[in-house]
């Protein structure tokens, strides 16, 4: 690793879903003042970067991902003065703040779309994607929406269809029009001038579409469940020309000192790494790597995914890892509460920038909801598969204490989504006084990552552990060599590593046992246990770290 590192390389990113973090005014929805009230808690987690899901004015058809004004704050969340205070308070604590940028589509109520829709000869008509009906009538082609149905809605007023890959209330901007990107850059300028530390850019690979509007081919591997997956989306995502557009966004961002751009992308390695950029220009600092969030929880598979990703990263690229977000089932729901600690240790000890999701530090679970309580548009538009596509279960309110509404909102207030049934026991207050709780472990793990340069920026090398359900790897820098051991199974495992007879120092285990010396030749992992050990400088593995490994 270079001697010069940026805050986004060594730091831990924490995603906040503002609607669900803390309600301060009794309307049942989280807000900016609520986040400010909880900043000391966030600081206590040893995290470095807060990323906020959208807080812009919006009719909330997709809960803020339908933006009606890119340069303002939705009254639901507070005022611009509240935002300015939040930013100042975050910076005063030595943390950074990222905003969600949603440039692929706006709200149908955005002034740009209102103008575009008003007449075919309006100067902003071409800012959005309009097409005549197919020769026989109906949508211009077979493109589909992620949320079900065609990606086209007919506008009676002008006799054309407009495109939307999500809701009809989210029309797609046309980046082939020369005025669109400058308009979005101006919106970025507004927030960068305020001091925002960067952006997570929503669906960044979808900004350009096929100019010939060709039908997309059928997906031969479709399982017949989710309509969107019935096609291969070769004409609506990841077009080669999109990289030039992203380079222009990055070059603009780089006019401000040391700001960060993260791209949302669900792609295999070979395509994902292209979004770092090349000799033609820089692109995303961090194209989100979602491989672990979607993978079956199997040690051999996880090791292969990590090794394969490390192997294809360009020399200039910095890795990143994600295990939870607002679109995927919660970590503890996917892997189980016992394995959630192993997963947390994995996330915070791999080489690269980790992104955590609010509530995962206390082991929050998805909250099962009947259809009548769901609000997420994919579920409501596709009720037959609501349990597969609905995202409400992982967006429920933060569980702070055992009071009414778990401290998220005042007693008697109806929260925007129901709270978990276990909120009176699984909450921050209870876990803050339990030295063996998930929260205590999370804090210990983040503190260890901060304290150990080998974890924050050192080399990585995976090892054969001699057990099929154990993932072992080395992290090191010139001054230290650490061994990470993760038991993905429910059985006790004796390891078969190339270890000398020396002892190693146990720095942290998922069981929160006291630090102690362990024999390297007799290492045993308990079921669902992970360990971080410091190797003696004389061990053969320490010398291996010093001599190489992915950096």
Where do the H-state alpha helices sit in 390-510? Answer: 428-432, 438-451, 453-457
DSSP character string of 161-210: EEE-SS-TTSPBB-TTSTTHHHHHHHHHHHHHHHT--EEEETTGGGS---
Centroid of chain to Cα 17: 11
Could you give the CA distance from residue 89 to residue 526 in angstroms, rounded to a whole number?
42
pTM of the model: 0.97
Question: Could you read off the pLDDT tens digit of each residue along the chain, which spans 551 residues?
Answer: 445 789 999 999 999 999 999 999 999 999 999 999 999 999 999 999 999 999 999 999 999 999 999 999 999 999 999 999 999 999 999 999 999 999 999 999 999 999 999 999 999 999 999 999 999 999 999 999 999 999 999 999 999 999 999 999 999 999 999 999 999 999 999 999 999 999 999 999 999 999 999 999 999 999 999 999 999 999 999 999 999 999 999 999 999 999 999 999 999 999 999 999 999 999 999 999 999 999 999 999 999 999 999 999 999 999 999 999 999 999 999 999 999 999 999 999 999 999 999 999 999 999 999 999 999 999 999 999 999 999 999 999 999 999 999 999 999 999 999 999 999 999 999 999 999 999 999 999 999 999 999 999 999 999 999 899 999 999 999 889 999 999 999 999 999 887 766 789 999 999 998 888 998 888 899 999 999 999 987 665 665 655 455 55
Pair of tokens at residue 363: 């082991």
Query: Which residues, 6+ apart, have CB-to-CB distance to 391 below 8 Å?
Result: 326, 327, 376, 378, 379
Q: Are strands 260-263 and 198-201 parallel, antiparallel or unpaired?
A: parallel
Query: Which residues, 6+ apart, have CB-to-CB distance to 320 below 8 Å?
Result: 262, 286, 287, 288, 289, 352, 353, 354, 355
Pair of tokens at residue 389: 């596509």
Q: Is 308 a catalytic residue?
A: no
The confidence score (pLDDT) of residue 541 equals 61
Centroid of chain to Cα 57: 22
Choosing from 264, 310, 528, 529, the catalytic residue is 264
Could you give the CA distance from residue 508 to residue 441 in angstroms, rounded to a whole number?
9
User: Which domains, ranges and CATH numbers included, belong to the chain?
Assistant: 7-106+178-446 (3.20.20.80), 111-163 (3.90.400.10), 459-547 (2.60.40.1180)
Question: In the block, which residue shows the tokens 């308990």?
Answer: 526
Kind plus residue range of the DSSP H or E element containing 386 = helix 386-389
Pair of tokens at residue 6: 């940026």
Q: Is 202 a catalytic residue?
A: yes
Query: Which residues, 6+ apart, have CB-to-CB distance to 281 below 8 Å?
Result: 247, 250, 251
Could you give the CA distance from residue 152 to residue 150 in angstroms, rounded to a whole number?
5
Q: Are strands 524-525 and 493-494 parallel, antiparallel or unpaired?
A: antiparallel
Could you read off the pLDDT of 237-295 as tens digits, one per residue?
A: 999 999 999 999 999 999 999 999 999 999 999 999 999 999 999 999 999 999 999 99
Could you give the CA distance from residue 195 to residue 46 in angstroms, rounded to a whole number?
22
CA angle 362, 363, 364 (to 5 degrees): 95
Residue 495: burial class (beta carbons within 10 Å; 0-12, 13-18, 19+): buried
Instruction: Give the N- to C-terminal CA distance of the chain in Å, as an integer.
Output: 5
Distances (CA, A) of 389 to 147, 374, 378, 456: 8, 11, 6, 35
Contact 519, 500 (CB under 8 A): no
Q: Give 470's strand partners.
A: 487
At residue 358, the 3 state secondary structure works out as coil
Question: In the block, which residue shows the tokens 């154990």?
Answer: 470
Q: What phi, psi does 481 have (nearest 5°)? A: -130, 125
Could you give the CA distance from residue 18 to residue 86 in angstroms, rounded to a whole number?
12
Could you give the CA distance from residue 509 to residue 158 in angstroms, rounded to a whole number?
64
Could you give the CA distance from residue 439 to residue 513 in angstroms, rounded to a whole number?
15
Could you give the CA distance from residue 48 to residue 90 in angstroms, rounded to a whole number?
10
Could you give the CA distance from residue 191 to residue 187 in angstroms, rounded to a whole number?
7
Contact 166, 236 (CB under 8 A): no
Pair of tokens at residue 461: 């090398």
Choosing from 202, 310, 376, 392, the catalytic residue is 202
Could you give the CA distance from residue 409 to residue 197 in angstroms, rounded to a whole number?
29
Pair of tokens at residue 405: 């509404």
Centroid of chain to Cα 469: 26
């Amino acid at each position: 690793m270079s001697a010069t590192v940026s805050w986004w390389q060594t730091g831990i990113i924490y995603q906040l879903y503002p609607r669900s973090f803390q309600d301060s005014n009794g309307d049942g929805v989280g807000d900016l003042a609520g986040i400010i009230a909880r900043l000391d808690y966030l600081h206590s987690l040893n995290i470095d970067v807060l990323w906020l899901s959208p807080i812009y004015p919006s009719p909330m058809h997709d809960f803020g991902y339908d933006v009606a004004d890119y340069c303002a704050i939705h009254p639901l969340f507070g005022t611009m003065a509240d935002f300015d205070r939040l930013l100042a308070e975050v910076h005063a604590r030595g943390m950074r703040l990222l905003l969600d940028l949603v440039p692929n589509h706006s709200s149908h109520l955005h002034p740009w779309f209102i103008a575009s829709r008003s007449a075919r000869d309006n100067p902003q008509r071409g800012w959005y994607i309009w097409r005549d009906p197919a020769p026989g009538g109906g949508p211009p082609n077979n493109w589909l929406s992620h949320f079900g149905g065609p990606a086209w809605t007919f506008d009676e007023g002008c006799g054309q269809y407009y495109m939307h890959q999500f809701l009809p209330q989210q029309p797609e901007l046309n980046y082939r029009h020369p005025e669109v990107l400058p308009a979005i850059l101006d919106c970025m300028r507004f927030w960068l001038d305020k001091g925002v530390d960067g952006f997570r850019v929503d669906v960044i690979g979808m900004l350009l579409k096929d100019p010939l509007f060709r039908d997309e081919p059928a997906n031969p591997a479709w399982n017949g469940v989710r309509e969107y997956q019935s096609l291969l989306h070769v004409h609506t995502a990841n077009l080669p020309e999109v990289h030039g557009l992203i380079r222009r966004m990055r070059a603009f961002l780089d006019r401000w000192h040391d700001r960060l751009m993260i791209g949302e992308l669900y792609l295999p390695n070979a395509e994902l790494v292209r979004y770092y950029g090349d000799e033609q220009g820089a692109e995303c600092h961090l194209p989100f790597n979602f491989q672990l969030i979607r993978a079956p929880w199997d040690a051999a598979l996880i090791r292969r995914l990590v090794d394969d990703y490390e192997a294809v990263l360009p020399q200039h690229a910095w890795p990143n890892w994600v295990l939870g977000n607002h679109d995927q089932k919660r970590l503890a729901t996917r892997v189980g509460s016992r394995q959630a600690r192993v997963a947390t240790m994995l996330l915070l000890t791999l080489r690269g920038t980790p992104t955590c999701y609010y509530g995962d530090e206390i082991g929050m679970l998805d909250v099962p909801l009947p259809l009548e309580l769901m609000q997420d548009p994919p579920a409501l538009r596709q009720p037959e598969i609501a349990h597969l596509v609905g995202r409400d279960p992982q967006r429920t309110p933060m569980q702070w204490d055992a009071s009414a509404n778990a401290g998220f909102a005042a007693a008697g207030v109806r929260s925007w989504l129901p709270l978990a049934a276990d909120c009176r026991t699984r909450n921050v207050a209870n876990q803050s006084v339990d030295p063996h709780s998930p929260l205590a472990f999370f804090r210990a793990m983040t503190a260890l990552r901060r304290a150990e340069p080998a974890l924050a920026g050192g080399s990585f090398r995976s090892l054969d552990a001699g057990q099929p359900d154990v993932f072992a790897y080395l992290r090191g820098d010139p001054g230290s060599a650490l061994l990470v051991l993760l038991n993905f199974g429910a059985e006790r495992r004796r390891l078969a590593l190339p270890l000398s007879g020396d002892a190693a120092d146990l720095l942290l285990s998922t069981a929160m046992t006291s630090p102690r010396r362990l024999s390297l030749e007799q290492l045993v992992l308990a079921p669902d246990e992970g360990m971080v050990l410091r190797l003696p400088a004389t061990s053969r593995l320490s010398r291996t770290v010093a001599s190489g490994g992915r950096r």
